[in-house]
Structure 1
Amino acid sequence: MVLRLVLSLSLGSRRGRSSMHDDSPGLFEMPGYQKMHGRFEPARLTQARVRAAMSKAQLAGIAGVSAAAIGQYEAGINMPRTDVLDRLADALDVQPGFFGVGRPLARFETVNAHFRSLRSARVSDRQKALATATLVWELTFALERYVRLPVVDLPEVSPGTTPAEAAALLRRHWSLPGGPVKHLVATAEAHGIVVSVRPDGEIDDVDAFSAVIVDRPILLTTPRRSGKVFPHRFSVAHEIGHLLLHGDTEEYSAGIEKEADEFAAAFLTPASAMDSFLPQRLDLAALDRLGRTWGVSPHSLVRRMVERGRTTESSARRAYQRLAMTEDPEADPTTAYPGEVPTLLKKAAELAADQGAGAPVLAEHLKITPRQLRELLGEPDQRPRLRLVVGG
């Protein structure tokens, strides 16, 4: 049976909203950059530069200033002249007004996030991912001027709760039946978690990560995790485990990652149910059929068999080798499972457009280009970006 979930998106009233969403003048609007003396926000320059994966020296070369000047701008020691601001904006593909104060800002250096592949990811890659996440959050904030997004609906998990107990708690809280979790991403979005698959090459080295920004869970994945549906589902469940179990934990550890993996396995394949469905002996064909029903890989079911005492570690290692030899790298693309493709932001943008707030309006709210806005919504602009060359 295919379970279809309809996200609880509705047109948001512009009256009776919380102070965070009211229509008080000047929340997103700011004076033209010609009047920005004293209204330059240094953190905005850092956010845009880091997201563009530029060093201070690289940006300085394009903007025609010194790397020390960029450092002084970001430290708030000096402010760029308007002509320099123009060049900075052009280099970073934002509007000059992006660097102004007066708009909601989540400083990415203060965001507590959980990354996959943290050991191999460079600091610059993690910072770029965080800068992207903060911009995704700003997009949700802008959308909520026109659209009421699903309320965040995650249960409180008491200290000392095991991953399996937390997984069972979430299933009860979300009123999920005891069988397979159909359409995991759609289910997460329906409960207020913003999920975004970033374009190939943008933040690949972090695989996936999650963060809570001003009470809104943001979960980002990359094609390296989302290209195949089973690893994608497991990664999403893994990150939900972090959100529940490790919200106040700032340091990476192998133990924390193991707990998130245990949560994902328990959430997607509860032990009580697996005891009834797992074969009595290691049978890869049977595990493949079972995995397609439960939306998990045969690899994870082999691990489940070890945990439930149905096979040995040595037999599992041989099974992993056989699976690696027979695996089709093109099989099971996520796009074949529409319930695992994020749609929350796109649907919200469509509703906002119906209210006269199309891509140009949203881009103006965020002070970015329409091109960047489409990328945030998961609609990369395939057209080449052209620059005017002066002189020569």
Structure 2
Amino acid sequence: MGIYRLLSHLLLACCLLWPGLALAQVEDAEAQQLLTALADSSFAEKKTVINRIAGSGDDRARYWLESFGANKLGRIEDSGQFIIVLSNRGRNWTVEDALTKENLGEISRRDIDTIRVNNALRNELEGILSVIDLKSPNEDQRLSAARALKGSVSGTLAERLPTLIDEEQSADVQAALTEALGIYQVEEQGDITAVATLSGSLNSEARAALQQAMRSDDPALAAAATKAMESIEQKLKLNRAAETLYFGLSLGSVLVLAAIGLAITFGVMGVINMAHGELIMLGAYTTWGMQQLLPGQPGLALMLSIPAGFLVSALAGIAIERTVIQHLKGRPLETLLATFGVSLILQQLVRTVISPLNRTVITPDWMSGSVMINEALSLTLNRLYVIGFALVVFAGLMLIMRKTRLGL
């Protein structure tokens, strides 16, 4: 009785799973037919097959077409199994199944029939792959694809773009596609109405298209392009000024921290500290040393080096004060000469103990990259962190100076 129930449950499970299994088989059968048509067709017919693959809705379509364009799509001659070449070095090539992506190991290249592609098909593939990306459900992917089209729209793709623009729901993607189409229309067709689309654009490809139009034999087109470029140049000046201000603030943040230390030292102790820069240097080498102690973890090392750098510089400052400064209180010129000698000692100490060569501090991933404000202005994250850190230290120091007994 127990065996009967078990068989009944197994039969029921197979019945429930059968539609899914059948669907998978149908999908793989259709994919096999598409890839077979791509392999057996002439170059003239392959264009139609490529469009059929792109419009199949199969998640693997982009991978197949990319591999085809890179001469990495083929099939095993004996079995007819379609494969994608992962590595084509040597006599044996590492391949995977094109349908399942299962790694098949190494196969002799003589047993592989590569599906050939020519330059005309490669150019066609660029536009088709762009269309696939533009139909992605992911808005970020569509936006990235739309931006990549600027300056690279072909005639075939230009015919499809108006439809894609009308179907697009995202305003950002629509704007990027409209600009990409406008660049093509100005460059290839000399369309004066498209100049208005590019007016105010900060994209380099759009500016190049307008500059080309400024040299046009059509006076109306040249005049419209010149006017559009004038508005763009004004925007570029404002963005360059903002970038210069940002760089100045980041550099000024470091100088502010150094200047605060000098001001407090001279204001409280009456000491002109010529070794102040060397104390900052000790903090920098502390950061480098922490990254040597924690290889492969630059972010953690950097976070730990912040308190460690303060501690090392503080201990060095206490040592200088106890051994040199306390004997010269009230004599600022003599402290100037003494601390200048200390600075030379610290410099030579670092050269001897570590190296006279520059040492590199690795920037963690979360400090790399930039924040893109527009296509002419991006703010690097490392400078942004410097400004933020300087503000935090400055605010903390003001609280100590004004709110604590030590500061008062």
TM-score of the two chains, using structure 1 as the length reference:
0.21
Q: Does 1 or 2 have the higher relative contact order (CA < 8 Å, sep 6+)?
A: 1
- Which is richer in helix? 2
TM-score of the two chains, using structure 2 as the length reference:
0.20
